[in-house]
Chains A and B, each alone.
Chain A
């Protein structure tokens, strides 16, 4: 071989010499043509050994020489672009890795916008479009003849992966679209598939191959955060290819196994995101989680416990993957145990955001759907223990979504481990619960049942509708012709909403009779009727009400639901509010004194708070907006919710007919001139002004003194939350009253004492209370009387806005901070001159 080797060297040397010196096109063409056979693509060459030597030893140097000759004048030596074509073919047909490196090196080495730089870039683009990247990867998948160019491979990798960055930096504005990351990485994915295809072909042919290089490329791209681009192309193709080929599956497994450790997380999250179904994930990953510690950590801990941004289908695909193989099944059980442990942890319930709790709950439900009852039997006790702990602390929570989450998960778990007598909670179905409950039904079985259930359900439904709706056309019409079918349908029904159950009993006409009926009556209907007319009676006869106000409040406060009256709570509440509005000082004094006394249920205490807020709202509302004494339709009654008092200060909607009439007048009236619509607002004193103190201060007095049955700072934090909301509402409603300043001061002190309360609901109440202080107390008074409190509050709010786990708390804090900022704006125009 020696002679031929030297022959190659001689030829190359000579060619280089001619390239450097000659200006004659024919000579150049023939010289380059002579070297062409040494390239891989040409056929019929006599020197296999020579080819190899050329490729390994001389190729890079020769390409560099070619690059150096590149200039417009040189290319124009041969008209018709013959020379240029030949020149390009050396880059496109020779060994891809060397050509790529030389190209990249040349581009990086060429300064500024120039002919040569653009030419090289275009050449690189052609290189990419001709599929040379696949050739490059393919070369590195074949068994290396020369052991060890780790350095070369490293450089190559960083150039392949960093191509968009390099070119972006060098070409600046002249960058070609092919090199944009959003275009380049999908292309790279495509090329990787082709390289893998080649690997599979080699393996079929019995050759040994390794996908190490492709794994490295994949890993690095994913680390760069380009999972979507590359996997978006790679995954669908691999999904198809692995469908019925074991060989492809094995190649895929190797591909993910050989991803470097530091890239495992990036690749796996990308894969989980891009893979729609667990069986696909299983085909692509194999038993990776069992073999690779890092992968196991990512899949079973990081994605589930440390992050919570993934969607439900992703969770399903991830957990489904764990469930699909008997080797991975223990991991799923382990995961379920850990999930439940976290779920049952009371500190986690208090300190993790709701979104994460929902995420964990969803994961638990999915796990349960994938596990069979027999598999759950072994860990039944553990499940039960964690479930009980979790349910307990969730039901204790003052946030309804948390409680509901607890109920849903507990129902599902108990139906799994005690199919004979599962737990059943009462909650209204909403979107969330439906979604979560559908998760809990096993997917495979679910598909079958929905298919089997569909047709069987549908006919029943249609049958029924035929019976009820379509009795007009009975199958066998005995006699008579229905020629008037059409005209009959014109009958428009009238409004029948007033068709309610009839109450026959006679309603009392006087308040004292009502009290008597409510306290002593054994006649249930009489009692109900009394309750129903009470609010109207109170508004109609304020004098009589004042005589018995406290007694009436006492009766109502202790009233229990004897029968199943529709809207009992609302009726009672509205009557209490009415009596409070008609005699505010006395009744408020009574109610606030009862709030901290013994022998009341939490329900009653919260009722007191609600009534105080609603009554304050009613009193502070200008008189012409006060609502009519009795709402004619009981359907429109809404039970008080703490937010209502703030969000709707007064919207007694004008009756419909008035709107209609006004509209009609407007359309029929011709006006010669049109001024602004002008409406006189009657002014009236704020009735809350004189009595706000009765409502507010007694509530603040004893909150830190627990009594036997009532411990606000201990277990009864739900009431504390209500109390804070109520105080905030009262503060807000006391706007423009003289007592607002001392109220604000007292409220800020109260808030300060409780600011680190663990319960979210309480904190929300505190934050809204602070906001209402800022809104209600005049700015000057705040700055004069409470400067220190303001500063303290401000730092606390800033802290909450940044660190609180609850989203609503953060938002409320930000709002309060904004209000504070507004003070600054108000002050600046005064202080600036």
Chain B
């Protein structure tokens, strides 16, 4: 627009970057990653990784070594990790149908509580937690197409979100709980097996809006509540961007064709500048979140990338089936 891009266009593009460092030692494919929020561990940032062998590793990003290993899922794959904002507590979801709540403060590693799950699918849970002691948890429910909402830590079931009988969206594949700033109503975004994304109003237990984004099952989604825009990746070749208008109805915004099919997870960086996808094609793709311009294709892993996560300071971690976790520092946060 201002001719600023011209000199850049003329110069050859820089070669793709290399990872900043790599964490090895999980000895099993990495299925879930989560950064500990900076406020919880000042001075010693931590990364949690969940592996297929059922172990949760806690990595110190300073020493780049595992500081602890949590074994609570009986050798069954760990699919989701999440810390709670208020305390040193970690949630881990495993394929053994347990959702464990760990106390990890001051080097402890004990299971404080656990929730029995009723669905063996691959769907990861989601939480909605403000500063209050009570928080909300969404997990796949008993029926194959249901989502269960629990109030924690009391574990009381708030409701079960079951699609209407004629909708038949298949299993929920990924969940995202959120709450608009302006309204107290909690909302849930759910990606389903038939490629559609639905927005649930939890209090009314009904679908506000539903759009078919993909041909294949939705594998991961992330939502930017400030821009009211979300992105979802599927087992197919397309990346879909959708937005939410004032009437709480989802609108298709754009789709982006990828070279190879299969996105395991998508993550928007906390500063909402860039977006990363974990590809089954061993590659991590970086997009400009606002324009969806492709920025980089990161090739390091030799097998499918299962998960990506951003730290608050912009560090990107990716875990792969090749048992390695790569960490990348791209486009520094300002």
Contacts and interface: CB of A to CB of B under 8 A. Distances in A.
B297 interface: yes
B14 to A, nearest CB: 5
A551 to B, nearest CB: 33
Interface in A472-508: 472, 474, 476, 478-480, 482, 487-489, 491-496, 498-502
B220 to A, nearest CB: 19
Contacts of A480: 226-228
Nearest to A494: B296
B273 interface: yes
A501 B244 CA distance: 33
A467 interface: yes
Contacts of B244: 478
A173 interface: no
B245 A478 contact: yes
B334 to A, nearest CB: 6
Which one of B244, B259, B293 has the highest number of Cβ atoms from chain A below 10 Å of its Cβ?
B293
A502 B288 CA distance: 23
Which one of B13, B274, B291 has the highest number of Cβ atoms from chain A below 10 Å of its Cβ?
B291
A471 interface: yes
Interface majority SS (helix, strand, loop, mixed), chain B = loop
Given A471-B292, A472-B290, A491 B274 contact: yes
Given A471-B291, A493-B294, A494-B14, A501 B227 contact: no
A495 B14 contact: yes
A489 B1 CA distance: 11
A478 B15 contact: no
A495 B241 CA distance: 24
Contact of B253 (A471, A482, A498, A499): A471
Nearest to A470: B291
A307 interface: no
A831 interface: no
A491 B291 CA distance: 11
A502 B285 CA distance: 14
Given A478-B244, A494-B14, A499 B297 contact: yes
A468 interface: yes
A472 B229 CA distance: 12
Given A478-B243, A500-B259, A502-B282, A495 B15 contact: yes
Which one of A471, A496, A501 has the highest number of Cβ atoms from chain B below 10 Å of its Cβ?
A496
Contacts, number: 80
Given A488-B290, A491-B274, A493-B293, A502 B13 contact: no
B246 A496 contact: no
A491 B288 contact: yes
Given A478-B243, A480-B226, A489-B4, A494 B273 contact: no
Nearest to B15: A495
B3 interface: no
A501 B259 contact: yes
Nearest to B298: A494
Contact of A494 (B16, B246, B288, B291): B16
A491 B299 contact: no
A488 B331 CA distance: 10
Interface string B295-306: 111010000000
Interface string B231-254: 000000000010111100000011
B235 to A, nearest CB: 14
Given A467-B254, A478-B244, A487-B334, A496 B274 contact: no
B245 A495 contact: no
Nearest to A468: B254
A121 B245 CA distance: 92
Contacts of A468: 254
B237 to A, nearest CB: 11
Contacts of B96: none
B12 A495 contact: yes
A502 B260 contact: yes
Contact of B281 (A471, A478, A502): A502
Which one of A468, A478, A479, A493 has the highest number of Cβ atoms from chain B below 10 Å of its Cβ?
A493
Given A472-B291, A496-B16, A478 B260 contact: no
A492 B8 contact: yes
Nearest to B241: A471
B214 interface: no
Given A488-B290, A495-B12, A499-B283, A471 B254 contact: yes
Contact of A498 (B254, B288, B297): B297
Contacts of A499: 259, 283, 297
Given A491-B293, A494-B13, 9 more contacts: A467-B254, A469-B291, A491-B274, A491-B331, A493-B295, A494-B15, A494-B297, A495-B14, A501-B259
9 contacts: A480-B226, A488-B290, A489-B4, A494-B14, A494-B295, A496-B16, A498-B297, A499-B297, A502-B259
Interface of B: 4-5, 8, 12-17, 226-228, 241, 243-246, 253-254, 259-260, 273-274, 281-283, 288, 290-297, 299, 331, 334
